[in-house]
Structure 1
Amino acid sequence: MTPQNWAHDYGSPSGARLAGMRAAIGTPALVLGASYMGFGAFVHQAGFNLWQGLASTVAGWALPGQIALVEIFAAGGSLIAAAIAVGLANARLLPMVVVLLPILRAGETQAKPRLAHYLSAHFIALTGWANAMQHCPDMPPPQRLSYFLGFTCVIWAATVLATALGFFLVGILPAPVTLGLVFLNPLYFMLLFVADLARKERGLALVIGAVTGPILHMVSPDWGLLATGLIGGSIAFLIVEQGRH
């Protein structure tokens, strides 16, 4: 495939990086930032200080795992319990890394991962992964990693600032409002894929998950969400694969 066949060609890695930054400024940064404002308020109400909340965002940067960490420690749980809870909450990130990193590394001749690959793995979370899966496969391989890091560095910086802002907004905004902001990001993530239903496996997974999710939650509130993702994704994969043969 020649370069002019790529749907998104920004001319160079630096051009792709700027394009990623521009794509992040706006809805992605605002939605994810709003979610982290809710997290900052949650940190304050749980009795932790600002630096602990910021350290969680800088080093962890996966909202479900961060919330689990704060909840466990606020309830007096042990370090082992916190590690298990965070590990389970963030287990979803492993298949995301496995799927996206080969796309970002496509065309590279070096067999060993570089520092940039480890950095990009740290930044693979819902918003950045969804955006990269939509755009990076249609880019020339040398531009993909630059685009992804440009996009994710902007939204990462926005979440760090939003964590601090939410921490100090406690008492100014009603508690249900600040804590409810946490749920904006999952909704935004879902809408990203609703807008991309041309990819059959994603549309099927969303529909199956929407149907089975409430049922499995009634069966097991603790494991219903995990079972929904596993069942919905697996059935969608099998249906699509069957249709290809």
Structure 2
Amino acid sequence: MPDRTRAYTSPRAAFRGGARDVLGAPLLVLGASYVGFGSLVRASGLGLPVGLLSTLTGWALPGQMVMIEAYAVGASLLAMVAAVALVNVRLMPMALVLMPGLRVPGRPRWWDYAAAHLVAITGWVQGMRVCPTLPPEQRLPYFVGFAGTLWASCVAWTAVGYYLVTAVPASVSLGLVFLNPLYFILVLTADLRNRARLGAMVLGGALGPLLYQLDPEWGLLATGLIAGTAAFLADRLWRRRHG
């Protein structure tokens, strides 16, 4: 369920409000995760420009971690691009769900395309929670203020982690990276009144370990597809029967 309805005095105020909402848990968790990522970039032998470019253009830790792993095993550039693209394809349905709610008539479409680049887990969750509670003309400014500020900070944190590699052991770096999905799960649990969301989390938690054992490469993807689809269909069936 969305938060209670709220509004800012103007689109510019909504942008500033989104930037302010980054301060706190989102900034700390993503910052720690990207410190871990930056240290892994250097430990893998990649240069700082590559790490920064990765965060600028492919701002999603799972895909960025795949890039590092592929480089470590000597994969070709084409194979690395294909692997990262496959991992990040999950962002497409997220953008398709969020972006239509941010549009307003008369605004140049390129604004929406540019904002879609900022779609990632943390910004998407915040956008889905807050933007429906705002007037239509304030939704995109709020999302850009939140996600854009978070994106820029992650670029800086990548550089910090790169230069702190000697102070951050590899095991700690991996632990810091894991904070991001953990934070995502905690954010989702804040609204367990949503039956579809609760069902997807419970079913995914049950299926994930089993499917990973059956196929480590495709287990996670299969878990998301099966659990999400089943929860969605079950919720629709419930609504039809109970109104």
TM-score normalised according to structure 1 size: 0.93
CA distance in 2, matches of 1:235, 1:41: 39
CA contact (8 A) 1:41 1:179 kept: no
Mapping for residues 14-163 of structure 1, pairs under 5 Å: 14-105=12-103, 108-110=104-106, 114-163=109-158
2:237 matched residue in structure 1: 242
1:195 matched residue in structure 2: 190
Flag the 1:221–1:113 CA change in 2: closer, same or farther, 3 A: farther
CA contact (8 A) 1:25 1:154 kept: no
CA contact (8 A) 2:33 2:179 kept: yes
After alignment, is 212-221 or 113-122 more displaced?
113-122
* Structure 2 runs not aligned, ≥5 long: none
SS class of match (2:167): coil
CA distance in 1, matches of 2:168, 2:60: 24
Post-superposition CA distance 1:36-87 (Å, at most 9, x none): 1111011001101111111111111111111112221232211221121011
1:3 matched residue in structure 2: none
CA distance in 2, matches of 1:13, 1:113: 16
1:227 matched residue in structure 2: 222
CA contact (8 A) 1:24 1:154 kept: yes
Instruction: State percent identity of aligned pairs.
Output: 51
CA distance in 2, matches of 1:34, 1:119: 26
CA distance in 1, matches of 2:108, 2:26: 28
Q: For 1:181, which of 176, 183, 199 is the aligned residue?
A: 176
Q: What one-letter code is carried by the residue in structure 2 that aligns with 1:154? A: T
CA distance in 1, matches of 2:167, 2:21: 31
2:6 matched residue in structure 1: 8
SS class of match (2:9): coil
TM-score normalised according to structure 2 size: 0.94
* Structure 1 runs not aligned, ≥5 long: 1-5
Q: Aligned-pair distance for 1:235?
A: 0.6
Q: Aligned-pair distance for 1:11?
A: 2.2
Flag the 1:236–1:37 CA change in 2: closer, same or farther, 3 A: same
RMSD value, Cα: 1.3
Write out the 4+ residue segments of structure 1 that deviate beyond 2 Å after TM superposition: 112-115
Q: Aligned-pair distance for 1:189?
A: 0.6
CA distance in 2, matches of 1:153, 1:204: 31
After alignment, is 46-55 or 169-178 more displaced?
169-178
Q: What one-letter code is carried by the residue in structure 2 that aligns with 1:178? A: S
2:199 matched residue in structure 1: 204
